[in-house]
Every structure is written in structure tokens, then in C-alpha cells.
Structure 1
């Protein structure tokens, strides 16, 4: 009975994502429902080129809550029992620009994953470095020890990376190493919001 319950739950989760995608989130990639804003994530440029994770799909919902936003991602069609890392990005494709680590995300045995993050996810989301200064060298040889100065840069896109090259290869994707996890030893990008214009990512459509 417990196995049946888990199986039914997984089927319903996949169906929910598929229904939202089929209902227009992909054809019309962003929609507002009251104060909630929903949009889709799609396979990354690299995943499409390698023809891997062909069934990956995700729906993102951003809901204002007091001074912050609650961002929830529901994904399906991922490789099972695989770890991912979520970033807010300046650009959805390489070179990605300013990138901010948000959360880990792990798929279950059915390739379904969900994560909720609370923060600033709207038209005011940005990073700034008024000047250059020393930076923590947490991972010697990988971390920058100073930062370049830059004016405010808005970051309106989302990207999801495989947590390791080994997990990417197991999913049939390329095995390059990228800095997009806590140890800077992640795999390639799996999904992103590249279905939106580079300079008009979906978070730019969320009011402050």
C-alpha cells in the first residue's frame, strides 16, 4: 500500500507539471494569476545540443510574500536520484554573467524534483560591487581573491546545473566541470530560462 501511494504521488506530480506546461506555460511562457507569476524552464543550450535529458521540463511560480518572494520550482523528466544546483543569472546561456547560488535540488526515483526558495525574485533583483576588495579564499585555486568593481547588474534568469560531471555523464550529457556548486566542481547546465530574451528574463516581469 505504501509503494502504491508513493507511485501514485509521483505520477500525479509528473502529471501536474505536464498539465501546466501543456496548458500554455511553454506556448505562452509566462502567465500571471492574481499575485502569482508562473513560467517555464527548458533544457539548456548544451543539453539540447547533446540531445540529453529530452523529457526535462519545469514550472516556476513566484509569489510575493511580505518584503520577499517565494519561488517554487516543480520539475519532471529529470534523471532519477540526481543532484542539481539552482542559480539566479544575468544571462541564461554561456557566459552567464553575474550568477548567484540559490539552492540544491534533488530528483526522486521518478525523476521528479521540487524546491522552494525565499528571497528577492523580481524586477529589482540585482548585484553590485561598488569597488574592488579582498574576497574569502574558501577554495584555494578556485576562488577569486579579489572582486572586479561593477555597477548594478540585474539578474532575471534561472539556471539549473548538474551537481557533478559524473551525474551529467550518467544522464547522457557532456562531462565538463563548471564552478556552479558549493565546491565549484559542478557539471554542465541542465535547464534554464533561455525561452525568454537574454535581457528580459522572467523575473523582470515580477513587480516589486
Structure 2
């Protein structure tokens, strides 16, 4: 089950000096990095299976004060295919704490563009001050937890893009078992990861470089 939202186009602008490093370009305004650009690359799974040889995505994040606006332009993906975008703790398995940001759907040329509004900066984190009941909406194939573990703040600075369907991942040569699912879509029936920010260190994902 996927829910789609139409978002208005956002015109992004920035000026300042360019700071390059770690695969990202940050444009600083004063002492703060309020705009960053970086690349998503083929995931470890895509490289290991030899699929999606031309897949990549350019990501731009612009601070708008109380929120950030993130625009992703992906190419080299299978045509007319649905993908799911997650903000994640580390780029490779086991991925750590992860949350579902939205969808990217490719056109007939294998390109996709998405604009998302939220917190995509050094302040991005999840926290659970204590254990509490959680709603169980999905019972299979990967059931929801009925409660959360207590945890201190955990920052998530990486991005990952998953095939919404295992069958699409199989058709692209990225996985062999059409019945093998991962939890990375709305009803926890996703395929494997296609793109990620594994070109950045585990503890310094690109979102860490934006300081609003």
C-alpha cells in the first residue's frame, strides 16, 4: 500500500563559498551550511549483483528556517517502477534506525524526481524516552512491533532507496527470490535496496553537513 502526495515545486537558491569534501558540496551562508548537494550511488546489493549499472541520484537539501526541502533527481533506474525512500542510520545492512520518507516513481526513461519537506540536517534524529504500546497494523509478512524499545536520541544522516516490489527487483537483476521481502515500504513488502549514501562514512552521512 503506497500513499502519494503531490508537492508544490520549490525554487531553491543559495549563495556563498563552496566547500567540497566527502562526496558532497555545501554552500555556506555566513557560518552555517544551509544548502548541501551530494550523490546517492548504487547500493552494496546493486554492486554485488551487478544490477543498475547506470543508476545514481543527485540530492539537494536547502534550509528554509524551521524545515528543510530535499529534492532528489534519480536516473538509470528501471522504467515505470516504484521505489521507497528512507532516512537511515547507516547506509548498508542492517541499516539501523530508519524512517519512511516517501516515494519515487520512475518514468518511461527510468528517471524520477521527488521533493520532500522535513528535517534533513544535523538535527535529524529519533528518540524514545521510554517503552510504550505501538499500534499493530500489519501482521505479515513482517509484523509490526507492539511496543518500542527505550533509546536515547539516535541520529540518522543517510538515505536509502528500495524497490517497492521484490518482483521489480528480480526483473532488474537485483535479487533472485521474488518472495523475499524487506520492511522498507508502507506494508513491509519491499524488495532490496537500489541506491544509498554508502559513499559517505557510517557516522557522517551527508545530512550531518547541513546546519540550519
**TM-score normalised by structure 1 residue count:** 0.85
Structure 2 spans left out of the alignment, 5+ residues: 1-19, 29-33
CA deviation after TM superposition for structure 1 residue 28, in Å: 5.7
1:95-110 alignment runs, 5 A limit: 95-110=94-109
Residue of structure 2 in register with 1:182 after alignment: 186
Moved over 3 A (4+): none
Between the aligned partners of 2:127 and 2:22, the Cα distance in structure 1 is 32
Structure 1 spans left out of the alignment, 5+ residues: 1-24
Residue of structure 1 in register with 2:78 after alignment: 79
Between the aligned partners of 1:128 and 1:165, the Cα distance in structure 2 is 31
1:55-94: CA deviation from partner (whole Å, max 9, x where unpaired)? 0011000001120000000011011001000000001000
Which of 202, 206, 210 is the matching residue for 1:202?
206
1:113 correspondence with 2:112: yes
Between the aligned partners of 1:128 and 1:203, the Cα distance in structure 2 is 18
CA deviation after TM superposition for structure 1 residue 140, in Å: 2.0
Structure 2 contact 73–112 (Cα < 8 Å) conserved? yes
Describe the SS at the equivalent of 2:174. coil
1:95-119: CA deviation from partner (whole Å, max 9, x where unpaired)? 0000010001100000000100000
Between the aligned partners of 1:147 and 1:54, the Cα distance in structure 2 is 38
CA deviation after TM superposition for structure 1 residue 52, in Å: 0.3
The structure in which a higher percent of residues are helix is 1
